[in-house]
């Protein structure tokens, strides 16, 4: 992909995620109402796309319950704001092994494995415009957690998403994930225009240094649309890097809790900071209607 700055940028807000962040910031939304309200605030601040997970309303833990996704979806769609809805389909592929001398049986605390139909059942029920497809398996973050997405599973999920008329957003955590995304496209399991998210700096995928980032960017086909983000301390630096490399922007409490040193943020505040970066670089923020045209999305 040629290195050319993107002049028409859309912002995605990753609203809540599934990580253990609830205890770290009171701004992380938990209930469907809180998640929807935070997504709506982010849209009003300038996000064209909101990317939503759901959480158990009682515990704040990550959840796959369809009724929670349905409530979030209904609340966002009934709001007096236009925004493209992107639901995660990354849950249901979590393996946690036993200790190093006895890896089996699997640790039942945290292991959550589901079939392809179950992993996209909320997508079939809610029919968002976009849903994510984590395009590979990797050692994830701390401990013995493996994010598991086999080639057969990814092919089945991609076909179901495409058959539903929902645009997959490929989440690529390393170069091999990009390689397999190209294979899915070659097999016709994902259709043009392909949308991809470069997920940088997540242990133990691709680190977020600029050399690695550009290796990822240079492996994105020129006809594809990409966004990029990093987490933690580099999260608010990545909008500039993504724009300069020709991509779009993702921010949000899934990836980063702070607007500055010691300053816990809301999703709307993170989007506002991203808007400042985009406009300060002389680029234009595009809204949900322009995104739908660009990505050939079906509004529901």
Please write the tens of the pLDDT for every residue from 103-120. Answer: 899 988 889 999 999 999
Block residue for tokens 């997970």: 53
CB atoms within 10 A of CB 105: 9
Residue 2: predicted pLDDT = 53
| Chain centroid offset of residue 199 CA | 8
Q: What is the mean pLDDT of residues 154-161?
A: 97
Lowest mean pLDDT across 42-56, 93-107, 182-196, 226-240: 93-107
- Which two structure tokens, joined as six digits, stand for 78? 């009934």
∠ CA 91-198-47, rounded to 5°: 80
**SS3 sequence, 214-273?**
HHHHCCCCCCCEEEEECCHHHCCCHHHHHHHCCCEEEECCCCCCEEECCEECCHHHHHHH
Please write the tens of the pLDDT for every residue from 172-198. Answer: 999 999 999 999 999 999 999 999 999
Give the CA count within 13 Å in the CB-facing half-sphere of 195: 25
3-state secondary structure of 280: helix
The secondary structure of 149-164 as a DSSP string is --HHHHHHHHHHHHHH
Lowest mean pLDDT across 9-18, 96-105, 185-194: 96-105
- E-strand stretches of 88-240: 93-96, 112-113, 130-134, 138-139, 145-147, 167-172, 195-199, 225-229
Residue 278: predicted pLDDT = 97
- Which two structure tokens, joined as six digits, stand for 241? 């890097």
Residue 41: predicted pLDDT = 98
Residue 161 has pLDDT above 70, yes or no: yes
Residue 3: predicted pLDDT = 74
Residue 141: predicted pLDDT = 78
Please write the tens of the pLDDT for every residue from 245-294. Answer: 999 999 999 999 999 889 999 999 999 999 999 999 999 999 999 999 99
In Å, how far are 62, 70, 79, 142, 212 from 19, measured between CA atoms?
Answer: 7, 21, 27, 12, 24
Residue 136: predicted pLDDT = 94
Calculate the average pLDDT of the chain: 95
- pTM confidence score: 0.95
Domains of the chain: 8-12+92-295 (3.20.20.70)
Residue 57 has pLDDT above 80, yes or no: yes
Closest to 41 (Cα-Cα) out of 59, 18, 16: 16
229 in Cβ contact with 251 (< 8 Å): yes
């Amino acid at each position: 992909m040629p290195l050319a700055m993107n002049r028409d940028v859309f912002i995605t807000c990753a609203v809540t995620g599934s990580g253990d962040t609830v205890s770290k910031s009171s701004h992380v939304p938990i209930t469907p109402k809180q998640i929807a309200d935070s997504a709506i605030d982010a849209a009003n601040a300038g996000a064209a796309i909101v990317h939503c997970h759901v959480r158990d309303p009682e515990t704040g833990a990550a959840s796959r319950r369809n009724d929670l996704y349905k409530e979030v979806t209904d609340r966002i769609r009934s709001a007096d704001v236009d925004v493209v809805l992107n639901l995660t389909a990354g849950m249901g592929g979590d393996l946690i092994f036993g200790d190093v001398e006895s890896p089996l049986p699997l640790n039942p605390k945290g292991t959550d494995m589901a079939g392809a139909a179950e992993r996209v059942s909320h997508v079939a029920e809610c029919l968002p415009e976009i849903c994510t497809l984590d395009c590979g398996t990797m050692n994830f973050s701390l401990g013995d957690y493996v994010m598991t997405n086999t080639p057969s599973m990814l092919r089945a999920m991609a076909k179901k998403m495409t058959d539903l008329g929902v645009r997959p957003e490929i989440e690529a955590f390393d170069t091999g994930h990009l390689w397999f995304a190209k294979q899915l496209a070659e097999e016709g399991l994902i259709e043009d225009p392909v949308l991809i998210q470069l997920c940088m700096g997540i242990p133990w995928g691709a680190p977020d240094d600029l050399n690695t980032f550009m290796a990822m960017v240079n492996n994105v086909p020129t006809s594809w649309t990409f966004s990029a983000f990093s987490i933690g301390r580099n999260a608010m630096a990545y909008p500039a890097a993504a724009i300069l490399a020709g991509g779009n922007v993702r921010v949000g409490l899934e990836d980063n809790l702070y607007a500055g040193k010691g300053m816990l943020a809301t999703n709307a505040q993170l989007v506002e900071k991203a808007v400042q970066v985009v406009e300060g670089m002389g680029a234009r923020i595009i809204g949900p209607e322009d995104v739908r045209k660009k990505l050939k999305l079906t509004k529901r």
